[in-house]
Amino acid sequence: MIFRILFFVFGYLPFMIVFVPGQFIITRLGLSWNFIPRWFHWFGCKFLGMNVTVIGTPSTNRATLLVSNHISWTDIIAVGSKADVTFVAKSEVKKWFFVSFMATLQRTLYVDRKKRSDAHRASREMGKRMASGGAVLLFAEGQSDIGTHVLPFRSALIGAAQHAMQDAGAGEVMIQPLTIAYTRLQGLPVGRTDRSFIAWIKSKSIKQNLTEILTGGTRDVTLAFGTPQVLSAGSDRKLVARQMETEVRRMLVALNRGTALPTATTPAE
């Protein structure tokens, strides 16, 4: 804990003081420069005690919709340290002090899932980001889980992005599965009991969860990028959602067990 405090005071904080104002200006000007967000998340990983390993390659330099499982708010920091993506977050995040400010600097998209009209607005914005050749990450379960299994992917979320990309003029969009797995805690395999100190369980406040993370040990996080496939206007969104869900689940099971990742299944037409 003492090391983390020193790292924050002499490393993380000076970085934010120097570079965050610059990122604020870049965002206001509508420009895109990913250097600062990537380093911000890298510092965040070190501060929170996360060792991130990447398997596979994120789709870059083309319109991409990444669909992933979701375990904790620290998923964003882990992914952000390794890939240039736009995150889609629930509207409640905008109420979190400092977190909302930093998320906005990375051009995070907020959506109020209780309002259909707002979901349509967010989908249109997602389409615009992808149409410009960017990558958007969607936590397709629609909520977080403890990390032992994958909840059903919401095909409506993928369908909304599919329609939005058409409206925005995105010709060919890739959809890529991403699995996030917390595999070790203090060098030991993560058990089911340990996951309550990693995942953000609804019964815990953000303050309680953050305290447990900062006072806990180092965690190994694996990001496994699957094989991207074309998401066209005529693709069956329910079938695509099942394919992505299956790939993410297969990779999560393998990573949790410490076995080799399975070979990807052939996408259905």
What is the tally of structural domains in the chain?
A: 1
Structural contact between residues 180 and 197, judged by C-beta atoms closer than 8 angstroms: no
Structural domain contains residue 77: yes
Better-scored residue on pLDDT, 220 or 266 = 220
Structural domain contains residue 126: yes
Per-position b or e across 2-17, b if 16+ CB within 10 A of its CB? eebeeebeeebeeebe
**Ramachandran angles phi, psi of 130, nearest 5°:** -70, -35
Structural contact between residues 126 and 136, judged by C-beta atoms closer than 8 angstroms: yes
Residue 179 has pLDDT above 90, yes or no: yes
CATH number (domain holding residue 117): 3.40.1130.10
Nearest to 209 by CA among 194, 199, 220: 199
**Which is it for strands 64-68 and 173-185: parallel, antiparallel or unpaired?**
parallel
pLDDT digits (tens, 9 = 90+) for 160-173: 667 666 666 656 68
Residue 267 has pLDDT above 60, yes or no: no
Q: What is the pLDDT of residue 119?
A: 66
Structural domain contains residue 20: no
Which segment of 86-90, 116-120, 234-238 scores lowest on mean pLDDT? 116-120
SS3 138: strand
Identify the helix (H) or strand (E) that includes residue 165.
Answer: helix 155-168
Identify the helix (H) or strand (E) that includes residue 211.
Answer: helix 206-215
Per-position b or e across 147-156, b if 16+ CB within 10 A of its CB? beebbebbbe
For the residues 9-29, what does the mean pLDDT come to?
78
d(CA 225, CA 248): 9
Contacts of 218 (CB under 8 A, 6+ apart): 49, 50, 51, 185, 186, 187
Structural domain contains residue 15: no
SS3 57: coil
Structural domain contains residue 237: yes
From residue 207, how far is each of 60, 186, 210, 221, 257 by CA, in Å?
A: 35, 22, 5, 22, 31
**Domain span holding position 189:** 49-257
DSSP classification of residue 159: H
Structural domain contains residue 33: no
102 pLDDT band (50/70/90 cuts)?
Answer: low
Structural domain contains residue 6: no
Percentage of the chain lying above the pLDDT 90 cut: 22
Which two three-digit tokens encode residue 187? 């060098």
Q: What is the pLDDT of residue 252?
A: 95
Structural domain contains residue 17: no
